[in-house]
Each structure stands twice: as structure tokens, then as C-alpha cells.
Structure 1
């Protein structure tokens, strides 16, 4: 049970770190610079901080966090010894996949409705989208019984 607490804490910490990276790093000049000259450090920052890729990471972490939180609550309700480890691990992995599937559906919808939804990204746009995406991905991973 204790490793699951640490894993949940690590997942939530990674989510917060990823959210902070997306909120505080402006990728517009980095992406423009990559068009002129490829710098690997700038490329990594764009992958981590650009709104579409950052939302993907956030949604996977939120779905995983939801599944881990559900697993912790279920362990407290019925006892760890009554929970099948194989079923529980597949449920936790399913939470991450549910977060990813929600992200993919959001991206498909964004590109269907707009021509270039992430051509120029703003902090306001990021805060609105990341909160909603993370909440729904968390709930998709949590899946209350």
C-alpha cells in the first residue's frame, strides 16, 4: 500500500510540474527559432511546454492520478488483501489510457472546428484548456463504481 501512496504522490507532483512548465514557458519564440535553426534544448522545451503536447502529458498524468486515487480509496474501503493485483494494475493502466483517449478526442475536435487552433498559443488559452482537460481525464481515470 505504501508504494501506491508514493506513486500517487509522484504522479501528482509530475502533473504539477508539467502544468507549471506549460504555464510559464512561452513556446512561440522557441518554435519560431526552431524554424531558423534546430537547437535540441529548445526542441525539448517545446515538446514539454507547447500547449498540444503539454496537454497530452497532463491528460495522461491526470488519468493515471485518477486511477491511483481510486485504487487507494478502494484499498481503504475493502482492504488491500481482497483486491486482485492483476485487475488493479490493469485498472491503473486503463486510467492513463482513458486520459490519453480523452486527449486524442479533444485534439480531433479542435482540428475539426478550427483551421490552426494552436498556431499562436496564449497563457489564457492554456489555463482554460488545461484545467478542463485535466479534470475530465482525472474523472475518466477515477471511474467511480
Structure 2
């Protein structure tokens, strides 16, 4: 399971001209689910998302996690993160989880994020699995990392 995280000052997801998810300060998380991924990998990724220190402290060092910074998560499924781009001029998606399995694990990730986020005071917003989404964001920094579980 892969996640491309971007520290943002704001981000939103639109589907058919409707805003379906938006956050102010926090992390935009693009999630790629691969064959063989399971709940344990989703749990490990979520732990990283909630505890990864990418927000500046008072000394302007990356020492705060999303909770400590008072931020939120915007979770968006993106199967293209599972692409194999190692050869040729066209990506292969043979390593991506089948759609039904990807949706099941993405839904699990959202459910767990909402449970843990509620305890930690971290807001959770989402995109829509399988939808054609338009995402807008203001990357803060820019700060972008690829996490794998």
C-alpha cells in the first residue's frame, strides 16, 4: 500500500461539480492499493499518516504530526500509484489490487481513520472510490512524501 502525502493549507475534492470533501490545514493523502495488501498494511499506513512528523514546530523544524498541528486528513483513492513504470512508455497496472478489493481496503482505511481520528481530534474527509475526481490543493512548503506500508 502506498500513499503520496502532501502537506496542505487547503485541499478539496470535486465530483461532477460537487464538493465532496475539503480540509484546511492538514494532509492530502493519495492512496494506491496493490495486490497482496490487507488490513494489517492499511493499519500500518494509517499509523504513519497520523504520526508522521511533517509539520513545523516553533523552531520551524518538522517535528509535529497532523494531530499536534491541529490538521485534518483528506483521503483519496488513486490506483495509478500502484503503476509499474519501470519499462516502456505506458504504465502497467498489473500490480494494482482488483477494483472490488481496492474499494474494500480503501473503505476499511476510511473507517479506521474516522475511529482513530475521532479519538485524536483529527478530521477525516474523503474522495469517492472509482470516481472521476478533480482535486485542488495549496501545497504547503511544498512538502510531499511517498509512504509505503
Q: TM-score, normalised by structure 1?
A: 0.29
Structure number having the greater helix percentage: 1
Structure number having the greater strand percentage: 2
Q: TM-score, normalised by structure 2?
A: 0.29
